[in-house]
């Protein structure tokens, strides 16, 4: 029987006016964008945390500290590539990723295929193994007021 594990990831970033909004490696047109040390891609950060957690390799902050200038402004697709390499060192490969983004705007549905392609390329897996969904917060809380964006991810990893 093959050894499998699952992981869960979560990330949240504040939205700032006139700031780039990168999600799944795609630059979204919007009046505000996620703010953070790297490119603040909440979707990729949640995916990285899910993968690291499944492999018992701590969390994204442990590997990519927001006090380390090496990661300042970096594309989170590069962080994902590093995470996949860490998994491979421990003889793990990705089975699948299922992610959910919670935000009021912009609508991301038209961008999901591009996000899946970016993630598939960075992670070395098939697009069919990546599910990305979106929902709103029904105008409630900081998400509803468009002050922040949240992403959740689960993954399955398999022993190579």
Q: Which residues are annotated as a binding site?
A: 11-13, 37-38, 45, 59-61, 64-68, 135-138, 142, 145
**CA dist list (Å): 88 to 16, 52, 57, 108, 138:** 36, 11, 12, 31, 40
Integer Cα distance of 63 and 74 in angstroms: 14
State the residue for tokens 């499998």.
4
Q: Where would I find the H helices in the chain?
A: 42-54, 60-63, 76-89, 112-123, 141-144
Integer Cα distance of 29 and 106 in angstroms: 8
Q: Please state, as a whole number, how many other Cβ atoms lie within 10 Å of the Cβ of residue 24.
A: 28
Binding residue numbers for a divalent metal cation: 11, 13, 45
């Amino acid at each position: 029987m093959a050894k499998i594990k699952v992981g869960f990831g979560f990330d949240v970033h504040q939205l700032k006016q006139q700031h780039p909004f990168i999600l799944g490696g795609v630059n979204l047109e919007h009046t505000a964008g996620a703010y953070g040390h790297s490119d603040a891609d909440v979707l990729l950060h949640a995916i990285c945390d899910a993968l690291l957690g499944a492999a018992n390799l701590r969390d994204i902050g442990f590997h990519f500290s927001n006090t380390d200038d090496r990661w300042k402004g970096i594309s989170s697709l590069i962080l994902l590539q590093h995470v996949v390499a860490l998994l491979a060192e421990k003889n793990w490969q990705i089975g699948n990723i299922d992610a959910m983004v919670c935000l009021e705007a912009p609508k991301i549905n038209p961008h999901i295929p591009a996000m899946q392609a970016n993630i598939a390329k960075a992670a070395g897996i098939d697009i069919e193994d990546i599910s990305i969904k979106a929902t709103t917060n029904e105008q409630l809380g900081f998400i509803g007021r468009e002050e922040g964006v949240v992403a959740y991810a689960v993954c399955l990893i398999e022993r190579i």
